[in-house]
Amino acid sequence: MAVLLLGTFDTKGDEYAYVRDLITGAGQEVVLVDAGVMGSPLLPADVGPVAVAEAAGTSLEELRTAADRGAALRAMAGGATAIAQELYAGGRLSGVLALGGSGGSSIAAAVMRVLPVGLPKLLVSTMASGDVSAYVGQTDVTLMYSVVDVAGINSISRQILGNAAAAISAMAAAYDTRRATDAAGHEDRPLVAATMFGVTTPAVDAARARLEGLGYEVLVFHATGSGGRAMEALVASGYFAGVLDLTTTELADELVGGVLSAGPERLTAAGAAGVPQVVSLGAVDMVNFGPMDTVPERFKDRRLLVHNPTVTLMRTTAGENAEIGRTIGAKLAAASGPAALFVPRGGVSAVDVEGGPFWDPAADAACFEAVLRAVAGSDVEVVESEHDINTAQFAVAAADRLHELIQKGTV
């Protein structure tokens, strides 16, 4: 088992030599992979740039001749990804560390995003102090801001890179220990994904307790856009036996223009993979914005609720709810696996109950009618309840139905 040191050794040779020595000094082996293109390597690698380019289906000479930096970065990222996946499949990796500016970070991040969740991944980057979503994606990449450029060993970089080497060494050691424990006979429970928001927490807590009592491990994803995307990616990768998608609020943000959209592919992975799913309409009564002063001017006259100092909620209209319902129903109707729709006629969130600030029976009804029309004639099972979504009876029934769907698929 070894830590993969991935980078551009034509420009960062001294820095990689420094962290290599610290990591080996901590008792970890290393594998050096050089994805540099234009210059001569400043540090010998176990896998050099010629091999990385070949793994991408091209040659280092072709990339140099073309002199297209963007194309070269994409090619070397693809080659490095193939090499890293091969090393992982062969049981060689216990972690990945990369150092870089924008170019090197883009290569490293592309590799890290395809490696499995749980494998330590640490990227020390000059780009790690702003919007880092392009680097992290939906994976467990750890970012460390380099403070100064990754350009030599100095009084600042020595501390930053020293911390990075210590961190990846410790993470790799812990990862090795977990792997050994799992290999010794640890039996994992089947995994279920669940979606939750603050205003659907009682429902998910009750459903999770029920599923755990039935022998499942429940992974809860906060429906904040990134949470939904992460869940969809893991479902597509085959991690889950079933999905309890009680909180589909991210589709409201996608439709109306809120800040917590998970994109148009939300609520598609389970259907495409044939994974059993139980879906409800949690928190589709709201669209999310930041602090009150960030709400777009066109929405200033809408029904707004300050959820906390950093989150402002906007009540969806009957027209918006109808479109959300149609979208959810169409996605469910297209599912290739078993799907059940649970409709909480008593309200879809903690604030959408009788007497609550977002209680709007007409808007809710528009959603319910649209989603039911969209699944009519399909194989989607429909369960309607007079309870609100956070009633324990509703949540436990949804959990029980998911268990039944999963069990049918294992017979």
Is the pTM of the predicted complex or chain greater than 0.85? no
Displacement of CA 376 from its chain's centroid (Å): 32
Residue type, 211: L
**Which residue would you say has higher pLDDT here, 131 or 43?**
43
Kindly list the structural domains of the chain, giving each domain's residue range(s) and its CATH number in brackets, ordered by start.
Answer: 2-182 (3.40.50.12020), 191-410 (3.40.50.12030)
Token pair, residue 318, equals 């009957």
Give me the mean pLDDT over the 134-142 stretch. 84
pLDDT single digits (tens) 7-32: 999 889 999 999 999 999 999 999 99
Dist. CA 100–CA 198, nearest whole Å: 38
Token pair, residue 362, equals 């007409």
Packed helices 361-375 and 318-333: angle between N→C axes, nearest 10 degrees:
20
- 8-state DSSP, 134: H
Instruction: Please calculate the CA angle 324-371-301 and round it to the nearest 5 degrees.
Output: 30
Q: Looking at residue 336, what is its pLDDT? A: 96
Give me the mean pLDDT over the 240-260 stretch. 97
Q: Looking at residue 146, what is its pLDDT? A: 92
CB 365 within 8 A of CB 373: no
Token pair, residue 322, equals 């109808």
Give me the mean pLDDT over the 199-223 stretch. 96
From the number of C-beta atoms within 10 Å of its C-beta (0-12, 13-18, 19+), residue 263 rates as middle
Q: Which residues, at least 6 apart from 399, have a Cβ–Cβ distance to it below 8 Å?
A: 206, 207, 208, 210, 211, 214, 244, 278
Task: Kindly provide the b/e burial profile for residues 290-325, where b requires at least 16 CB atoms within 10 angstroms of the residue's own CB.
Answer: eeeeebeeebeeebbeeeeeebbbbbbbeebbbbbb
Q: Looking at residue 41, what is its pLDDT? A: 84
**Which residue would you say has higher pLDDT here, 385 or 185?**
385
Token pair, residue 309, equals 């100092």
Token pair, residue 128, equals 């790690």
Place of tokens 């429902």: 203
| Residue 411 reports pLDDT greater than 50 | no
Give me the mean pLDDT over the 196-212 stretch. 97
CB 63 within 8 A of CB 72: yes
Residue 183 pLDDT level (bands cut at 50, 70, 90)? low
Give me the mean pLDDT over the 386-390 stretch. 97
- 8-state DSSP, 335: -
| Residue 122 reports pLDDT greater than 60 | yes
**Which residue would you say has higher pLDDT here, 80 or 117?**
80
Q: Looking at residue 186, what is its pLDDT? A: 58
